[in-house]
Structure 1
Amino acid sequence: MLFAAGFGTRMGTLTAARPKPLIEVAGRPLIDHALALTQGLRVVVNTHYHADQIAAHLAGRGVAISHEPAILDTGGGLKAALPVLGGGAVFTLNSDAVWAGPNPLGVLRAAWRPGMAALLLLVPRARVRGRDGPGDARIDAGGRLIWGGDMVYSGAQIIDPAPLADIPGAAFPMHRLWDRAAGAIHAVPYRGLWCDVGHPGGIAAAEAMLAEHP
Structure 2
Amino acid sequence: MPLPLMIFAAGLGTRMRPLTDMRPKPLIEVGGTALLDRALTLGRAAGAGPVVVNTHYLGAQIRRHLAGQDVLISSEAGAILDTGGGLKKALPLLGRGPVMTLNPDVVWTGPNPLAALQAAWDDSRMDALLALVPLAQATARKGAGDFSLDPEGRIARQGDLVYGGAQIIRPDLLASIPERAFSLNRLWDLMIAEGRAFGIVHPGGWCDVGYPQAIPLAEALLDG
TM-score scaled to structure 2, two decimals? 0.93
Alignment of 1:65-144 (within 5 A): 65-68=73-76, 69-114=78-123, 115-144=125-154
Q: Tell me which residue corresponds to 1:184.
A: 196
Per-residue deviation, residues 28-74 of structure 1 (Å, max 9, x unmatched): 01101111101121210000001000000011110001001211000
2:170 to 160, 164, 185: 160
What is the percent sequence identity of the aligned residues?
A: 58
Aligned length in residues: 212
Instruction: Extract unaligned runs of 5+ from structure 2.
Output: 1-5
Cα deviation, residue 135, structure 1: 1.0
User: Which whole-Å CA distance do the structure 1 matches of 2:188 and 2:143 have between them?
Assistant: 23
Q: Are 1:41 and 2:48 an aligned pair?
A: yes
- Secondary structure of the residue aligned to 2:89 is helix
Structure 1 segments of 4+ aligned residues over 3 angstroms from their partners: none
Q: Write the letter of the residue equivalent to 1:51.
A: G
Alignment of 1:44-55 (within 5 A): 44-55=52-63
Q: Write the letter of the residue equivalent to 1:149.
A: G
User: Which whole-Å CA distance do the structure 1 matches of 2:19 and 2:54 have between them?
Assistant: 20
User: Which whole-Å CA distance do the structure 1 matches of 2:88 and 2:207 have between them?
Assistant: 27
Cα deviation, residue 133, structure 1: 2.8
Instruction: Extract unaligned runs of 5+ from structure 1.
Output: none
User: Which whole-Å CA distance do the structure 1 matches of 2:99 and 2:40 have between them?
Assistant: 15
User: Which whole-Å CA distance do the structure 2 matches of 1:198 and 1:27 have between them?
Assistant: 17
User: Which whole-Å CA distance do the structure 1 matches of 2:127 and 2:187 have between them?
Assistant: 9
